[in-house]
Chains A and B, each alone.
Chain A
Amino acid sequence: MVKEYLTIDRKEITIKVAGNEVNAIRTKNIRKKGVRLYENNKIGIAGCIGDLDDEVLVEQAKDNLKANIPYPYEVTKMHKEKRIYQSQTYTPVELKKLTEDILEVLKREYNDYIFSHMVVYGEDVITLKNDQGLDLKHTDSQLNIGFILKEKSSANLFDGFIGYGGRNFDYNRFINFNRKYLDAYQKKVKLPKVKKMPVVFIEEKSMFRSFFSKNLNGEIYGTDGSIYSGKMGEKLFSERVNMFYSQDPEKTGDLFFDFEGKVLKDDKIQLIDHGKLVNVLADKKTAKDYGLPYTGGAMGEYDSRPCLVDFDVCFDVEDGELKTALKGQMAIFIVISSGGDFTPDGAYGAPVQAALLYDGVEFLGKLDEFSISSHMNKMLGEDYIGTFKSEDIYMSDDQELFVCYMDIIRE
């Protein structure tokens, strides 16, 4: 019998903001544990929130083994690795002060707006170990600032968002960037009279998540349910598209291993290589059942059997700058585009609730609401402009911008 232990420790301080003022402080220190037993090609799992003794959980997991849940896969073994991504740390008093300092600037200089929501500092320690020599430990701390902004003269629930997520917060850089951003917010500009424009996404991951989580899921691919089933090795997109699944915490803000203990070479697996489909995501079960390369990507809750879940994709970054690639064109910088989706065959439509006119470096002003539409084949095909690093945009430590042409539909 092989025993495996997963422990997730999360400490968190949250400063809640309502109507431009700090109105609440929340602290949290929660441990979640999972025990997995593997015997005779079966798995038994038990878990708890809190600090129940391991031996109690082992007994509960033995009970769960009697359910005869098949698990005829080799347990990950002989890999010891510890990584620390912890950089800045905050106490509740320090985090409250940081929040109040930021609000002081925003209130004074942008008093046409109301700022609300929260600043969160979290520390995570996640370990996965078993008695076959697997011993993985991820230590991390991150700051997330998220302020909803609402114009005092507007009857909307909210009109925009400012934020930062990362490990190395630079207060001055945050203030300076958001001054430019909010200055642009105050200038209303008109959408250029063109049918198609370059559209810049800072959060393209959420847009692509549902589509690629389905169509590059190895199980769906292997059972012929993906629109890309049977197309391994075929060119699907532009040659300039190199798309991958990442387990690099500096890129994803997440763990360096999955919950089956898989650590990827170079922390990534290529999915699209110069436009060609080269991999789909496959956990141990999917790889064995469908004859696919084992890529990892198995996650779940503390007491779940790990399996493929929704995932984000990343793109190789262009060497050049966005402004050069735009060749003098204006672009749309998406602030909020919520509620859109892809049809099963890849057509995309979404409203844009908040966006700025952008020349690749400077924001020119705020646009009225409109909608965007396209198709996946175009967004990563003839309409793909590229993915670019940006030193000017400061919403994360390593800001990337995904850019493609899209059809613009005015309200």
Chain B
Amino acid sequence: MYKFPEGLYCDVRIEDIYSTAITYKKRELQSIKVRNNKGAFIRVFDGEKWYFTSTTDLNSIQISIDELAEMTNPKEQIENHPIISKFEVHKDQLIQYEENSITDISVEEKQKLILDLLYTIDNPIITNYQGVYVDKKVVKQIYTSKGSEIKFDKQTCGVKFSFDLKDGEKTDSGRYSKAGIVFDDLVGIENELEIEISKSIDFVKWAENVEPGEYTVLFGPEAAGVFTHESFGHKSESDFMIGDETMKKEWAIGKTIGKPILNIIEAGTVLGNGYTPYDDEGNKGRKNYIIKDGKLKSRLHSTETAAILEEELTGNARAMNFEYEPLVRMTTTYIDKGNRPLVDIIGEIDKGIFVDTIKHGSGMSTFTIAPARSYIIENGKITKPVKVSVVTGSVFEALENVDALSEEFELLSFVGGGCGKMEQYPLPVGFGGPYTRVKKLNVQ
């Protein structure tokens, strides 16, 4: 298909993106956006440096390859370079959404779905609200100078509601979202939306400021997912480790990170936001244990990091869209389910905080979770709602302090938003887990 220059490695990733966004404020239509965009990202490697460009003119991809090649220093036998020899070669077509395609659902049907749900929002404490329907279907093609020819598709859809609440002088905001793969996943969710609104109303009425201090914290699946992502997920991205002997020693494979109950999985095979059957370098997505029985089992890799660190490929090279190069990114990251009933785990907590939903999180040496809704746990029961600005902990210690995991378990995708790394935000990722109890976290 393309003439790849001698002495260089080259790959071309073409993306054909269909997406819909329908926005209502209260019950008034604000916008309907249906996009059909195509673009390509081209990479060339000469054994020393990478050269990238992107284009929306698919007829000029060969010109882009040739222009990048002019900047390089080609090498003989480039195919023997350790990074190049690591790339997998696949010839595959994995098209799963020709039936059940969101492109076959009319805009009118999508509008009706969101508008019918908006009509269920009716409470004087809710002063303003907004509903959004979104969907996205991407068909990717990857061609490499080693011979890969891959074509696959991925599809997601979702609805998201945000609302402002006011009870006397007290204000708050709430949200509810439901993510799916096919349109039918979003049908019949009125009850879930009503439950979420009712919890938000209860919260704005009764929540008081938390007394700051160190607490045992119980994370619900949403919060546990973000906790896992921020406290450990980013540390397992190997590009942070290249050329860094201290990090390599600190995070050596086999090191004990947590108790034996702890298993953290990173899986591009899970349908949803993080679904990555092939990563953006054409390497197969897979299920990876990054922590098994409390010990560090593997890291997340691109081809380059796997070659440099002499470890196995994991299928984690992802780019936000065709304007960007792949980086080592997460797919779906979660603590594996435990074997204890939630009621027992709560029953053991004399004084703690339950974090139900979150606003955002971050992870560096300290990880942070900014709760949206949280509650006090007293004498083994969840009692009063409480306002918390941030929960923090050391990324080095937090996983050691995970001491209970529930058999109740959920995997989730956010609707809108995603993971940020460097300039590439937001990248859709999956997350979730069991109810997760962590000792000794700081709550402000």
How many residues on B have C-beta within 8 angstroms of the other chain's C-beta atoms? 73
Q: Does A386 contact B (CB under 8 A)?
A: no
Contacts of A151 in B (CB 8 A): 246
Give min CB distance, B171 to chain A, whole Å. 5
Q: Does B164 contact A (CB under 8 A)?
A: yes
A373/B212 in contact, CB under 8 A: yes
A154 and chain B: residue at smallest CB distance: B246
**Scoring B residues 194 to 237 as 1 if CB is less than 8 Å from chain A, else 0, what string do you get?**
00000000001000010010000000000000000000001100
B107 and chain A: residue at smallest CB distance: A67
B35/A303 in contact, CB under 8 A: yes
Contacts of A159 in B (CB 8 A): 365
Give min CB distance, A11 to chain B, whole Å. 11
A304/B31 in contact, CB under 8 A: yes
Contacts of B364 in A (CB 8 A): 156-158, 336, 338, 353
Give min CB distance, A36 to chain B, whole Å. 11
B247 and chain A: residue at smallest CB distance: A155
Q: Which of A45-53, A190-198, A252-260 contacts B (4 or more CB under 8 A)?
A: A45-53
Which of B29, B52, B166, B389 is in CB contact (< 8 Å) with A24? B52
A150 and chain B: residue at smallest CB distance: B244
A341/B360 in contact, CB under 8 A: yes
Give min CB distance, B27 to chain A, whole Å. 12
B244/A28 in contact, CB under 8 A: no
Contact A369:B53 (CB < 8 A) given known A19-B243, A47-B35, A341-B390: no
Give min CB distance, A260 to chain B, whole Å. 14
For chain A, residues 4 to 28, give those with C-beta under 8 angstroms from any C-beta of chain B.
Answer: 16, 18-20, 22-28
Q: Does A350 contact B (CB under 8 A)?
A: yes
Q: Does B340 contact A (CB under 8 A)?
A: no
Q: Which of A126-134, A171-179, A217-225 contacts B (4 or more CB under 8 A)?
A: A217-225
Q: Does A3 contact B (CB under 8 A)?
A: no
Q: Does B97 contact A (CB under 8 A)?
A: no
Judged by DSSP, the binding face of B is strand
A339/B71 in contact, CB under 8 A: no
A70/B28 in contact, CB under 8 A: yes
A63 and chain B: residue at smallest CB distance: B34
Q: Does B62 contact A (CB under 8 A)?
A: no
> What is the CA–CA distance of A154 and B389 in the complex, to the nearest angstrom?
28
Contacts of B380 in A (CB 8 A): none
Q: Does A330 contact B (CB under 8 A)?
A: no
B31/A305 in contact, CB under 8 A: yes
Q: Does B3 contact A (CB under 8 A)?
A: no
**Scoring A residues 130 to 156 as 1 if CB is less than 8 Å from chain B, else 0, what string do you get?**
000000000000000000001111111
B35/A50 in contact, CB under 8 A: no
How many residues on A have C-beta within 8 angstroms of the other chain's C-beta atoms? 72
Report which residue of B49, B53, B368, B442 has the largest number of chain A beta carbons within 10 angstroms of its beta carbon: B368
B32/A67 in contact, CB under 8 A: yes
Give min CB distance, A109 to chain B, whole Å. 18
B392 and chain A: residue at smallest CB distance: A351
For chain A, residues 63 to 105, give those with C-beta under 8 angstroms from any C-beta of chain B.
Answer: 64, 67-70, 92
Contacts of A341 in B (CB 8 A): 359-360, 370, 389-390
B33/A152 in contact, CB under 8 A: no
Q: Does B135 contact A (CB under 8 A)?
A: no
Which of A25, A28, A219, A339 is in CB contact (< 8 Å) with B390? A339
Give min CB distance, B239 to chain A, whole Å. 7
Contacts of B323 in A (CB 8 A): 28, 30
> What is the CA–CA distance of A28 and B51 in the complex, to the nearest angstrom?
11
> What is the CA–CA distance of A156 and B107 in the complex, to the nearest angstrom?
48
> What is the CA–CA distance of A154 and B128 in the complex, to the nearest angstrom?
47
Contacts of A320 in B (CB 8 A): none
Contacts of B28 in A (CB 8 A): 70
Give min CB distance, A375 to chain B, whole Å. 10
A344/B172 in contact, CB under 8 A: yes
A220/B128 in contact, CB under 8 A: yes
Contact A157:B442 (CB < 8 A) given known A19-B243, A49-B56, A225-B166: no
- 4 A-B pairs closest in CB distance: A339-B368, A349-B444, A225-B164, A50-B56
A sample of 24 cross-chain residue pairs with beta-carbon separation below 8 angstroms, ordered by A number, consists of A25-B49, A25-B51, A28-B53, A45-B33, A50-B57, A64-B32, A69-B29, A70-B29, A152-B245, A154-B246, A157-B240, A157-B365, A158-B240, A159-B365, A219-B25, A225-B164, A303-B35, A307-B30, A336-B364, A339-B362, A344-B170, A345-B170, A348-B389, A409-B442
Listed in ascending order, the chain A residues whose CB lies under 8 Å from chain B are 16, 18-20, 22-31, 45, 47-51, 64, 67-70, 92, 114, 117-118, 120, 150-159, 214, 219-220, 223-227, 229, 303-305, 307, 336, 338-345, 347-351, 353, 369, 371, 373, 409
